[in-house]
Chains A and B, each alone.
Chain A
Amino acid sequence: MSASNAHEVLVREILRFVEAKYAPTSSISVDCSLCTGYPPPPKIAGHIPDVYAKNLTMESIVIGEAKTCSDLESPRTKEQLTAFINYLEKHQNSVLVLATRWSSINSAKSIVRSIFRHNKIKNVSTHYLDSYQ
């Protein structure tokens, strides 16, 4: 599977998860050419998340980001996740959903953990989706 296909598979997994858990009360936007019918997500500190959901009543935010194994360790990823996490920290009950291949899931957790520590993040929940493809 090519890197772009792998990324699309992960974005769809995030979308499935967000729709199942948050759809009734949230507006969802998606940055994926194959997921038609959704508006594009907003730009956050210069970065566009793959999935963005805003709860219509509670003002909470869900940001979903898909990362292939080769992408995960790049400095750009760290910069992007830091921007999203800092943004989520400013909203109540916000959630970061990170999807990656199962073999990289602990790397993803470790990167997020280090961003949390470094930026003293307290109010953001995380959810990890591991793909077996």
Chain B
Amino acid sequence: MSIQATHEYLSVNKVQLDKANPRIKKWIEMYGDNPTPEQIHLALGAGGDDPQSSGGTTYISLRESIRTNGGIIQPIIVNRTQNGELTVIEGNTRLAIYIDFIDKEAAGNWETIPAIVYDDLDEEAMDAIRLQSHLVGPRAWDPYSKAKYLHFLHSHEHMPFDRLVDYCGGRKSELENYIAAYSDMEKFYRPILDSDSDFDTTRFSGFVELQRPAVKNAILAHGYSYANFAHWIDDRLIDPLNTVRKIPQILSDAAAKQTFLSEGAREALKLLDRAPHTQSLDCASLFELCTATSSKISKVTFIEAERLKNDPDSEITQALLDLSDELSSLIKHIDPKVE
């Protein structure tokens, strides 16, 4: 698209939300003509059951990021019709947050909003903008790059954790783990490589898993160091990386430990004691197990799910995470189009 646009600061009360946006329209039809900013955000798919939004920003983290920053960084995109009406094509939530800040007299200047303004776009051109914004969008950084930048902000720019959380969203403990994982990877993994060109950033999630106290304690308690852990990662003894979670069990079992150190975690796990019912389950076919598991999972109550969420180290949570990893890997193989 090569239509000319201008960068302007628009008066917030002169810009209309895009009530023709199919998802906002659907919301208005269901709940009325004056959705709140949070409802607009939900209507646009964030925080709901829309798979496209699963990696998206939550409304609260976006709002707090805008508040902390004193404004938005990415201008909204607006269409100006021939009679001068201004309608948002992309950035409804951000505009709604500005309106909300004005209503609630939040500290800061929320009267004007930066915008890229197009003149008299036709529907096709507006659709092209919506598609590029929502279906293609900017690519998220890989986890290592995120952690590197967070580490820089925290350690070199001395940005406190609370402020990082305001900017990025998420939980403080997650950011702390990311930064600690980055530090550990630089401290223990980089030095064992022959050259920087061997540095495999995809190993980062192994160092994130290392931040679990149970894993760190088990490594030290069995007479190993984090440098040993880095070697295990480099030697691909810890492969896939989610097997880091199983290190405490592996190191506690003599045979599993020996197998782990020679063959890797995948083989070692086969030796670990299984639950007593496993023998009968082993006789079940994959089809039977899949249908039984999905039926069982579909019956998990909200309370139960909350309990699992609040106990990430529980046996069931760990088993579910393992199942999810194995399933994703197999599904990716069966159908590479699945993300």
Residues of B contacting A110 with CB < 8 Å?
Answer: 198, 200, 203, 234, 236
A70 and B332 form a contact (CB under 8 A) = yes
Tell me the smallest distance from the CB of A78 to a CB of chain B, in Å.
8
Bin the interface of chain B by size: 10 to 19
Q: Which residues of B contact A106 (CB under 8 A)?
A: 197-202
Instruction: State the Cβ distance, A82 to closest chain B Cβ, in Å.
Output: 11
Contacts of A73 in B (CB 8 A): 202, 239-240, 329
Q: Which of A8-16, A32-40, A57-65, A111-119 contacts B (4 or more CB under 8 A)?
A: A111-119
Inter-chain contact A109/B200, CB cutoff 8 Å = yes
CB neighbours of B336 from chain A (8 A): 2-3, 68, 70
In whole angstroms, what is the CA distance A104 to B200 when docked?
A: 8
Binary A-proximity of B321-339 (CB < 8 A = 1, otherwise 0): 0000000010011001100
User: Which parts of A1-24 form the interface with B (CB within 8 Å)?
Assistant: 2-3
With both beta carbons as reference points, the residue of chain B lying nearest to A128 in the complex is identified as B197
Q: Are B198 and A109 in contact (CB under 8 A)?
A: yes
Number of interface residues of A (CB under 8 A): 19
A107 to B241 alpha-carbon distance, docked (Å): 13
CB of B235 within 8 A of chain A?
A: yes
In the assembled complex, the Cα of A2 lies from the Cα of B338 at a distance in Å of 11
Interchain nearest-CB distance for A12 vs B (Å): 19
Q: How far is the CB of A115 from chain B (nearest CB, A)?
A: 8
Give, as a whole number of angstroms, the nearest-CB distance from B95 to chain A.
35
Instruction: Please classify the interface of chain A as helix (H, G, I), strand (E, B), loop, or mixed, using the class held by over half of its residues.
Output: helix
Closest chain A residue to B266, Cβ basis: A75
Contacts of A75 in B (CB 8 A): 266
For residue A62, give the distance in angstroms from its CB to the closest CB of chain B.
22
B337 touches A117 (CB 8 A): no
Are B202 and A107 closer than 8 Å at their CB atoms? yes
B29 vs chain A, min Cβ distance (A): 38
Q: Is the CB of B329 within 8 A of A74?
A: yes
Q: Which residues of B have CB within 8 Å of A74?
A: 329, 333
A29 to B299, CA, bound (A): 54
Interface string of B270-290 (1 = CB under 8 A from A): 000000000000000000000
Question: In the complex, are the beta carbons of B236 and A2 less than 8 A apart?
Answer: no
Say yes or no: A114 contacts B266, CB within 8 Å.
no
A106–B199 Cα gap in the complex (Å)?
6
- Which residues of B sit under 8 angstroms from A109, Cβ to Cβ? 197-198, 200
Mark out the residues of chain A between 80 and 133 whose CB falls within 8 Å of any chain B CB in the assembled complex.
Answer: 103-104, 106-107, 109-111, 113-114, 117-118
- Specify which chain A residues have a CB less than 8 angstroms from the CB of B142 in the assembled complex: 103
A70 CB contacts on chain B under 8 angstroms: 332-333, 336
A107 touches B200 (CB 8 A): yes
Of B201, B235, B266, the contact of A117 (CB 8 Å cutoff)? B235
Q: How far does the Cβ of B202 sit from chain A's closest Cβ, in whole Å? A: 5
CA A47 – CA B265 in complex, angstroms? 25
Q: Is A114's CB under 8 angstroms from B329's CB?
A: no
B235–A114 contact, CB under 8 A?
yes
Q: A residues within 8 A CB of B240?
A: 73
Closest-by-CB residue of B relative to A109 is: B198
A2-B337 contact in complex given A106-B197, A106-B201, C-beta closer than 8 Å: yes
- Contact A113-B198, Cβ < 8 Å, known A3-B336, A75-B266: yes
Q: Which of A75, A110, A111, A114 has the most CB of B within 10 A?
A: A110
CB neighbors of A among B155-211 (8 A): 197-203
| Across the A-B interface, the 6 shortest Cβ-Cβ residue pairs | A3-B336, A114-B236, A106-B200, A110-B200, A107-B202, A114-B235
A residues apposed to B, CB below 8 Å: 2-3, 68, 70, 73-75, 78, 103-104, 106-107, 109-111, 113-114, 117-118
- Subset of 12 A-B contacts with CB under 8 Å: A70-B336, A73-B202, A73-B240, A73-B329, A106-B197, A106-B202, A107-B200, A109-B200, A110-B234, A111-B236, A114-B236, A118-B235
Which residues of B does A touch, CB under 8 Å?
A: 142, 197-203, 234-236, 239-240, 266, 329, 332-333, 336-337
